[in-house]
């Protein structure tokens, strides 16, 4: 992918509005997406472990990603990093159809089972390398990556439809920038820097090796610097 895509800084923005996103979250039983022993902490302002060295993002981070996607409701969304399925359930409550890819097989199976049990049949989950996306159902209206990438995985923008929006944390291992990539009606890509962030690392072909990623912080732990460098593969 070209490294000279124009980039500018801008507020994260929103279309549905924060209130509607929060209303959707109220309809999702967050405590079902974590261990029962952590139930009292379900709405704590930080990420919680869900197994497989992964975590469920804080409520504020889920809101952040939904706002950054500029959702209107009814979009077809590719989600990279299912985790326990909470973010996918929230987006489903906003009227979206979600295609979610999870690298950890146990999490993928558990999320698919739970989402089906809760009635989120508009969420499809599969096990695989998220950096490759899910080409079979492309193009997508929205793509959201819930793990940090050293660079934007090349296959993902290729699966973004015209008029689509992609949100991805990219940069260094400990500090990234949340990037919004839009594809215009003409097909031209534009990237926008939203804010500093800090997510768990994306592993696999387009991410870090497990050895180098083990020192990275968890998702939802926002803050840190504004790293430089070329974010484009």
Report how far residue 232's alpha carbon sits from residue 205's, in angstroms, rounded to the nearest whole number: 15
Residue ranges per structural domain of the chain: 7-213
CB atoms within 10 A of CB 131: 23
Element spanning 171, H or E: strand 160-171
User: Mean pLDDT, to the nearest integer, of 44-53?
Assistant: 91
CB 87 within 8 A of CB 145: no
Summarised one tens digit per residue, pLDDT across range 172-198 is 888 899 999 999 999 999 999 999 998
Q: How does residue 149 score in pLDDT terms, banded at 50, 70 and 90? A: very high
Using alpha carbons, select from 231, 112, 111 the residue that is nearest to residue 171.
231
pTM value is 0.86
Report how far residue 106's alpha carbon sits from residue 224's, in angstroms, rounded to the nearest whole number: 31
**Torsion angle, alpha carbons of 107, 118, 46, 167, to 10:** 70
Summarised one tens digit per residue, pLDDT across range 49-103 is 999 888 999 999 999 999 999 999 999 999 999 999 999 999 999 999 999 999 9
The Cβ-side half-sphere exposure at 191, using a 13 Å CA radius, reads 22
Based on the residue annotation, tell me whether 57 is a catalytic residue of this protein.
yes
pLDDT of 199 higher than 80: yes
14, 57, 58, 191: the catalytic one is 57
| CATH class for the region spanning 7-213 | alpha beta
Six-digit token pair at 40?
Answer: 């009292």
């Amino acid at each position: 992918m070209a490294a000279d895509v124009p980039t500018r800084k801008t507020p994260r923005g929103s279309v549905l509005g924060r209130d509607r996103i929060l209303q959707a979250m109220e309809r999702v039983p967050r405590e079902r997406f974590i261990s029962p022993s952590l139930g009292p902490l379900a709405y704590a302002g930080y990420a919680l472990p869900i197994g497989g060295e992964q975590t469920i993002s804080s409520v504020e981070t889920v809101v952040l990603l939904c706002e950054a996607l500029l959702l209107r409701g009814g979009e077809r969304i590719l989600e990279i990093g299912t985790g326990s399925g909470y973010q996918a359930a929230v987006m489903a409550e906003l009227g979206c159809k979600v295609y979610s890819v999870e690298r950890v097989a146990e999490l993928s199976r558990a999320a698919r089972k739970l989402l089906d049990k809760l009635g989120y049949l508009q969420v499809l989950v599969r096990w695989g390398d998220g950096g490759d996306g899910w080409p079979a159902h492309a193009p997508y209206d929205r793509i959201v990556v819930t793990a940090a990438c050293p660079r934007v995985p090349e296959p993902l923008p290729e699966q973004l439809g015209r008029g689509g929006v992609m949100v991805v944390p990219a940069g260094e291992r400990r500090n990234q920038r949340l990037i919004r990539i839009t594809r215009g009606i003409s097909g031209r890509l534009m990237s926008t820097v939203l804010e500093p962030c800090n997510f768990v690392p994306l592993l696999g072909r387009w991410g870090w090796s497990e050895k180098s990623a083990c020192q990275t912080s968890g998702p939802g732990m926002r803050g840190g610097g504004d790293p430089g460098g070329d974010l484009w593969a």
